[in-house]
Structure 1
Amino acid sequence: MSKPISTQNLDRYGSAALPWSRPRDVLVADTPGVDLTFFVATARPDGRPHSAGVGAIWVDDVLYFVSGPGTRKSRNLAVNPACSISVRLRGIDLVLEGEARRTTEPAVLERVASIYRQGGWPATVQNDALTAPYSAPSAGPAPWHVYRLTLHSAVGVATAEPHGATRWTFAR
């Protein structure tokens, strides 16, 4: 993932724009070791919203998450890859917006599985997906597809000093 191509200060109280490095560094440091809850928001084919928790990790400057092929979120993404992913990080609330597409590249799957294992989830690659003895009920049954988020924009609202609110836009 590249650096933002633009930064917009959204703060109304005089705080400076936040650097993208602030949430990025927390994602690097805290996934997968810290218990973070990520929520992906998708749209059903009829346009109604859907939101669900996902197991997500930040690997090599990209956010990946897993979901079973039969889940509502996976079925929604198959029709419309546009989504947002929200998470409360140390010192900053973050919403990532972009497109999530399934990845089946063996090297990427192996890398993602290894990072999940470092965090305590015993994921292994099976064919073009991940499997493990267990997962969150919201993931559906194994095997689980791996999705890669192509980031279009992000909004961060600091919950600790230095405060501020910023939108970052990324190249498409």
Structure 2
Amino acid sequence: MTEPISIKNLDRHGSAELPWSRARDVLVTDTPTADLTFFVGTVRPDGRPHSAGVGAVWVDDALYFKSGPNTRRARNLAENPACSVSVRLRGIDLTLEGEAHRVTDSSTLERVAAVYRTGGWPASVEGDALTAPYSAPSAGPAPWYLYRLTLRRAIGVASAEPHGATRWDFATT
């Protein structure tokens, strides 16, 4: 289980630091069945930012998302895997930072496709990518690459009691 190596309370109003388990548990419970839009921020080769909504799932203590191979997001990640992923969860706004790398091993692809199916998206594995009868227009045409975020840092701001704001840093190994 991914646990932070350091925690910093960012709240300036006296609230206690938030436990990482609060954000992680909502990710486990609500992806993929809740109607969530994750926004992946990447960097273009010329340094300009790019952000796009994606369908993402938390599987086996990691965040996975998909992208068509010719999308700006996939081209940016091929050049520079550093990215951020933001989402408004039940009771907590969350930003995850790290590196996203393409997943091509069949066992992980099959496992993540199965989780997507539990949420209603009929994903299947074709070669080293995902396919389905449909996806969001911004994903481009099938097949879709699957990416795994290697988590380096997360920032959570609680929008429900108990309130607070916390930064969690994770090992880079």
Whether 2:171 is the aligned partner of 1:171: answer yes
Cα offset, 1:2, TM superposition: 2.0
Structure 2 unaligned blocks of 5 or more: none
The CA deviation string for residues 44-86 of structure 1, in whole angstroms up to 9 with x for no partner, is: 0000000000110000100000000000000000000000000
Coordinate RMSD, CA, aligned? 0.5
Distance of 1:5 and 1:53 partners within structure 2 = 29
Cα offset, 1:9, TM superposition: 0.1
Structure 1 unaligned blocks of 5 or more: none
Structure 1 equivalent of residue 7 of structure 2: 7
Cα offset, 1:114, TM superposition: 0.3
Distance of 1:163 and 1:13 partners within structure 2 = 9
The sequence identity of aligned pairs, in percent, is 76
Distance of 2:11 and 2:138 partners within structure 1 = 35
Structure 2 equivalent of residue 125 of structure 1: 125
Q: Classify the secondary structure of the residue corresponding to 1:167.
A: strand
Runs of 4+ in 1 over 2 A off after TM superposition: none
Distance of 1:112 and 1:158 partners within structure 2 = 28
* Count of equivalent residues: 172
Distance of 2:63 and 2:52 partners within structure 1 = 16
Structure 1 equivalent of residue 66 of structure 2: 66
Distance of 1:156 and 1:138 partners within structure 2 = 27
Cα offset, 1:11, TM superposition: 0.1
Distance of 1:76 and 1:19 partners within structure 2 = 32
TM-score, with normalisation over the residues of structure 1?
Answer: 0.99
Whether 2:63 is the aligned partner of 1:92: answer no
Distance of 1:105 and 1:38 partners within structure 2 = 24
